[in-house]
Amino acid sequence: MSSLIDPDSSTPKYMQLANFIKQQIDSEVWLPRQMIPSERQLESQYSVSRPTIRQAIDYLERLGYLYREHGRGTFVSPRKLQKGMQELTSFSEDLQQRGLQPGQIIRSIAWVTPSENIARRLEIPAGTQVMQIDRIRLGDESPIGLQTSFVALAPGEEITQADLEKSGSLYRILEDKFNQIPTEADETLETTLATVEEAVLLHIKPDAPLLLNERLTYNQYRRPIEFVKILYRWDRYRYVTRLARKSS
């Protein structure tokens, strides 16, 4: 047995421990509803202090892998609760998780002056130009949704068609090229009806219902970087999320 924890590693001990526990759960060595070793037991087994262990458990509890019961122990969350935790994902990541092959048709990329409404949401001065990207999103090569993104970039920065075709994911471009890491987003979902143009692009009848998803995405400094509207075909898309009750 002994030290899976390397004290000289650049990854913190609590994260090493968390990864170990996560692995025990993912590989089903520790089963759902089963109690994991108590904090004192872990302390002596892995020679790390209790605060460090609590930090690891805190982390996994937030991710939904574990739950605690005061006086009883710490337990593995049932399988269903382990996925998700309302993650912010790009369209490409989203579809891959659903087992569909993501694809896209880029209809246009252009600098535009956004509406006053969108400029306010992006917290940029009226008149500032942003990049508008219109895409048809595909799942297994047939249309799932229409996506219009408005991206607020710093002067001199630009997204090209080549960028998008290469990576497929706007989020990856923002991270790799501009060091803008999407960390949080506000989303709204509502139902609407397809216009004639939308119906043609999505291969559906006009007036068919659509799921309209609007999202304002923030970077690591809590600055808005992208406002996006996605219109989903009602018969091909279902939105999934997880909610948690506010504590205290």
Between 38 and 86, CB nearer to DNA: 38
User: Using an 8 Å Cβ cutoff, are 46 and 5 in contact?
Assistant: yes
Tell me the backbone φ, ψ of residue 173, rounded to 5 degrees: -65, -45
Q: Which residues bind a copy of itself (CB under 8 A)?
A: 15, 51, 62-64, 67, 69, 77-78, 80-81, 84-88, 181-193, 209-211, 215, 218, 221-222, 232, 234, 237-246, 248
Burial 126-137 (b: 16+ CB within 10 A, else e): eeeebbbbebbb
CB of 162 to a copy of itself, least distance (A): 26
Between 10 and 191, CB nearer to DNA: 10
8-67 residues in contact with DNA (CB under 7 A) are 10, 12-15, 36, 38-41, 47-52, 54-55
What span, in angstroms and rounded, lies between the C-alpha atoms of 158 and 177? 9
User: Using an 8 Å Cβ cutoff, are 139 and 95 in contact?
Assistant: yes
CB of 172 to DNA, least distance (A): 21
Query: Taking Cα atoms as reference points, which of 126, 137, 101 lies closest to residue 228?
Result: 137
Between 109 and 119, CB nearer to a copy of itself: 119
Placement of tokens 């659509």 in the chain? 210
- Near DNA by CB under 7 A: residue from 69, 127, 155, 246: 69
Residue 24 CA from chain centroid, whole number: 24
Q: Please tell me what DSSP assigns to residue 114.
A: -
CB of 181 to a copy of itself, least distance (A): 7
Between 154 and 243, CB nearer to a copy of itself: 243
Residue numbers of the site for DNA (CB under 7 A)?
A: 7, 10, 12-15, 36, 38-41, 47-52, 54-55, 68-74
